[in-house]
C-alpha cells in the first residue's frame, strides 16, 4: 500500500499486524518493521509514530532509537535527532553492538546541525576499518579535515580511504576473520 501512496491503508495494515502480535517481542518487531517501511518509502512523520511505539515496548533498543533519529531528521527535527544518534551510539557501545551506523549518522548530524566538524571527525574516526560504513566514514573525514584546514590530517585520512575500500571488497566473513585475527 505504501508503494501506491495509500498511507492510511498501510497504517491500518501495520496496526493489524501490531494487534495480532503475540507477546512483547513480536509486537516490538511489528512496530519496528512498520517504522522502517514508512521511513524507507518517504513518510518520516508516520515513521516517527511507529518507532516511538517500538520504543515503548523496548526503550533501549539501538535499532529503534536510530530509526527514530533518522525519522526525526527527515521530518525536519534535527536537534532531537542529534540527541537520539548520540543515545544510539551509547546504547550500542553498552550492549557491545555495531556502533558504525550510529556513529556515521551522529557525525553527519554534528556537521549539519551543530557545525561541529572536529567532533564529527572524532566520530567517523571511531568507525572500525572492517565496518561496511568505513569507506564513507573515511571519505567524510577527508572532506571535513579539508574544510577546517587540516591538510596533513586530510592526507593521512585519504590514505585510510584506500585501505577501507580494499577491506570493503572483502566478503563479510573475510572481514570478520581479519578483525578476529587482530
Q: What is the structure's pLDDT at 142?
A: 95
* Residue in 85, 91, 89 with CA at minimum distance from that of residue 108: 85
Low-confidence ranges of the chain (pLDDT < 50): 175, 182
- Grid coordinates representing 18 are 501490531
Query: Within 13 Å of residue 39, how many CA atoms lie on the same side as its CB?
Result: 23
Give pLDDT, residue 4.
Answer: 85
What pLDDT, on a 0 to 100 scale, did the predictor assign at position 153? 94
Give pTM, 2 decimals.
Answer: 0.85
Look at residue 64 in the predicted model and tell me its pLDDT.
98
Amino acid at each position: 500500500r505504501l508503494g501506491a501512496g495509500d498511507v492510511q491503508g498501510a497504517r491500518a495494515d501495520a496496526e493489524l499486524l501490531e494487534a495480532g502480535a503475540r507477546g512483547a517481542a513480536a509486537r516490538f518487531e511489528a512496530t519496528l518493521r512498520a517504522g522502517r517501511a514508512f521511513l524507507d518509502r518517504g513518510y518520516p512523520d508516520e515513521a516517527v509514530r511507529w518507532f516511538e511505539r517500538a520504543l515503548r515496548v523496548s526503550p533501549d533498543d539501538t535499532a529503534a532509537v536510530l530509526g527514530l533519529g533518522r525519522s526525526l531528521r527527515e521530518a525536519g527535527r534535527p536537534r532531537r535527532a542529534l540527541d537520539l544518534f548520540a543515545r544510539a551510539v551509547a546504547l550500542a557501545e553498552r550492549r557491545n553492538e555495531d556502533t558504525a551506523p550510529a556513529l556515521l549518522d551522529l557525525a553527519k548530524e554534528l556537521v549539519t546541525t551543530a557545525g561541529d566538524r572536529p567532533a564529527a571527525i572524532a566520530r567517523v574516526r571511531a568507525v572500525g576499518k572492517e565496518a561496511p560504513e568505513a569507506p564513507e566514514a573515511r571519505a567524510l573525514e577527508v572532506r571535513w579535515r579539508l574544510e577546517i584546514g587540516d591538510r596533513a590530517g586530510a592526507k593521512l585520512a585519504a590514505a585510510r580511504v584506500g585501505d577501507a575500500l580494499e577491506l570493503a571488497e572483502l566478503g563479510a566473513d573475510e572481514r570478520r576473520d581479519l578483525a578476529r585475527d587482530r
